[in-house]
Structure 1
Amino acid sequence: MSLDYAILGFLNYRPYSGYDLKKFFDTSVRHFWPADQSQIYKTLARMSEKGWVKIKVIPQEARPDRKEYSITKTGRDELRKWLTTPLPPEENRSADMIQVFFAAQLSDEEILGMFERVAMLMRAGLEQYAQISRNIEDYSEYTNSPREFFFWMLTLDVGVNNLRSSLAFIENLIKRIRNGELPKT
């Protein structure tokens, strides 16, 4: 259901096509709310039925017509209602913690190799966050609002801090494995 509100939030800035929304998701909020193209279009169709968005068809030569979606007053009211409603904490699902939980079934070398690869992926994730930061700076021009920029950067800070914390955990685990601290079977 939060995808509905993420889309409404984007459309509250200006009208977008489904394709443009996908690009905006990928370059701004992917670090905490990824969305597939098909999910976006299904959600837009559902929101249109609810009266939250309206569709404007823009004819194009030599290409399919472009559908541009804009938020309605009903959609804006729904977004505001959702934004002011406290949400319960989400359960944390973590595939890497499942791997840690069952890692005793592997050899020390296998565990070490797996977590070295995980650490490498996490470092790459931190590099992606740097790109997202640049994207957010670029997108802040859409709104010309330091207030919007502030809150956008807060979401990025959460992602960076969570990833850094997870990386520190994995790096500590790697160090302990290398130091021979794992109990033997």
Structure 2
Amino acid sequence: MSAKYGLLGLLSYGDQTGYDLNKTFEYSLNYFWNTQTSQIYKELNTMEKDEWLTSKIVYQDDKPNRKVYSITPLGLEELHKWLSKDFVDREMRIRNAFLIKVFFSGGNDVDDNIAMFERYREACQSRLDSMAQTNENVEAHIENEEERKLAVYWKMTARYGEYYFKMCVDWAAEMIEIIKKEKNK
């Protein structure tokens, strides 16, 4: 997936500025799909050229003007095509730089490896702790019955994040114990 489908999905809920999309991405999608602000604006420009969205300038007297994006019927069609594609096998692939480090850490100092796993565990615990805020954010953005129905799916992704980071915390703790046992042999 590229960020464009996340952006199309967000725009399918309503018109937003690039700034709003960036913030929404940050608090709702970022824990399972990371993107940079520059990538968001690049994708918005590309999608506008592809006629998947339009933009208009909203002039303001006391603030900078705002560029507001809207999804087009063509963009909505593209989003629905993407949602209907079955690509579970491809999505099961893992890309994780930390695991590459782990794979090649056998020649490192054991105490450095323990410290590396402890930092990883702490970072994962921090992300897990922040997942509680995600559910609060979902509830805060429900304004009507239609959004309540959508929120069921938003909460599913949040639950995945909770399970994932809990697994990472548990895995790191177990790996620390394995390294310590190997060190004491």
| TM-score, structure 1 as length reference | 0.90
Q: Distance in 2 between matches of 1:60 and 1:154?
A: 38
Q: Give me the whole-angstrom Cα distance separating, in 1, the residues matched to 2:21 and 2:113.
A: 40
Report the alpha carbon displacement of residue 64 of structure 1 after superposing the two structures with TM.
2.9
In the other structure, the counterpart of 1:170 is 172
Distance in 1 (alpha carbons) for counterparts of 2:90 and 2:132: 27
Matched, 1:49 2:49: yes
- Equivalent in the alignment of 1:159: 161
The percent of aligned pairs where both chains have the same amino acid is: 34
Change (3 A) 1:171 1:10: same
**CA deviation after TM superposition for structure 1 residue 159, in Å:** 1.7
Offset, 1:150: 1.1
* 2:86 aligned counterpart, secondary structure: coil
* Pairs aligned (count): 183
Pairwise CA RMSD: 1.9
Residue 139 of structure 1 and its aligned partner are, at CA, apart by 2.2
Q: Distance in 2 between matches of 1:26 and 1:170?
A: 26
Q: Give the match for residue 9 of structure 1.
A: 9
1:176 deviation in Å?
2.5
Match of 2:94 in 1: 92
| Length-normalised TM-score, structure 2 | 0.90
**Aligned equivalents of 2:120 and 2:142: distance in 1?**
32
> Shift of residue 67 of structure 1?
0.6
Partner of 2:182: 181
Question: Which position in structure 2 is the counterpart of 1:23?
Answer: 23
* CA apart distance, 1:183: 8.0
Question: C-alpha offsets along residues 116-159 of structure 1, whole Å, 9 cap, x if unaligned?
Answer: 11111111110121212211222233774332111111111222
Who is 1:111 aligned against?
Answer: 113
Please state whether the residue corresponding to 2:182 is helix, strand or coil: coil
Counterpart selection for 1:150 from 149, 152, 159: 152
Alignment partner, residue 75 of structure 1: 75
CA contact (8 A) 1:32 1:159 kept: yes
Shift of 1:45: 1.1
Return 5+ residue gaps in structure 1 as ranges.
none
Report the equivalent of 1:40.
40
Secondary structure of residue in 2 paired with 1:54: strand
Distance 2:63 2:144 in 1: 27
Residues 78, 15 of structure 1: alpha-carbon distance in 2 compared, 3 angstrom cutoff:
same
Q: For 1:145, what is the secondary structure of its paired residue?
A: helix
Amino acid at match of 2:90: P
When residues 142 and 11 of structure 1 are mapped into structure 2, their CA distance, relative to the original with a 3 A threshold, is: farther
CA contact (8 A) 1:52 1:71 kept: yes
What's the secondary structure of 2:141's corresponding residue? helix
Inter-partner Cα distance in structure 2 for 1:177 and 1:52: 51
Gaps of 5+ in 2: none
Tell me the CA shift for residue 65 of structure 1: 1.6
